[in-house]
Amino acid sequence: MIVLDIAVFATADSNWQLALDEYINAANYNLSTFGMRLNVYPPRPSEPVGIPLVGPVYDPPPDYDFISMRPGDLRSAAALVLPQPHGIPVIFTKFHQTGRAGAAILREDRAANRNVDWLNYVLIRENSLNSDRGCLLHELLHAADYNGDFDRFGNRFLHDSDPKSIMRPNPVNGVPPVVYQRHAQALHTSYFARTVGP
């Protein structure tokens, strides 16, 4: 069995209750085919680890605005409130931009991370639940350095062109997302995966 360790955080003004369990259940359902599951810290039904910040996060950050909250500010706060790592941080927060249910913040995104060399982590919009419930798993795949077949970002392709894939850019009404072996392989080799049991 492969477990994917995730540490769940929530900013002080986030409505994490709306989506957390839905996203965890959908991810575990899709991962079970591959002998994988999420290992959530703190274990549900405990509340996420609180981050004492309020307001929206800006990604991408505005030019020449060093005061607005960036993803790296949340990541730094997560390290302060939970100094001992428990897997990849998944942070429920408000987003300044509309239309995105989540975001994987990649190590090479120096502007978002304020030049701190954080390993990849995930932000989830606190006040929305995407229609296919695939947001958390989709963002974890980005954070696992999955390479799709289109939508270039630096040296990688972020998404799959297959409209059924969990890595399609947006949910498709009435089309449940499919997790393929290539997705499971990316997760298996991620920094937040580990083998348990025989």
Give the C-alpha separation, 94 to 117, whole Å: 23
- Summarised one tens digit per residue, pLDDT across range 43-62 is 999 999 999 999 999 987 77
The structure's pTM equals 0.96
In Å, the largest CA–CA distance within the chain is 53
**Residue pair 35/2 in contact by the 8 Å Cβ criterion:** yes
pLDDT at residue number 173 = 87
Q: What is the pLDDT along the chain (198 residues), one digit of tens a residue?
A: 999 999 999 999 999 999 999 999 999 999 999 999 999 999 999 999 999 999 999 987 777 777 889 999 999 999 999 999 999 999 999 999 888 899 999 999 999 999 999 999 999 999 989 889 999 999 999 999 999 999 998 889 999 999 999 999 998 888 999 999 999 999 999 999 999 986
Q: What share of the chain is helix, strand, coil (3-state, %, to 5)?
A: 20, 25, 50
**Residue pair 37/4 in contact by the 8 Å Cβ criterion:** yes
pLDDT at residue number 17 = 95
pLDDT at residue number 90 = 98
Give the C-alpha separation, 77 to 110, whole Å: 17
- Summarised one tens digit per residue, pLDDT across range 70-90 is 999 999 999 999 999 999 999
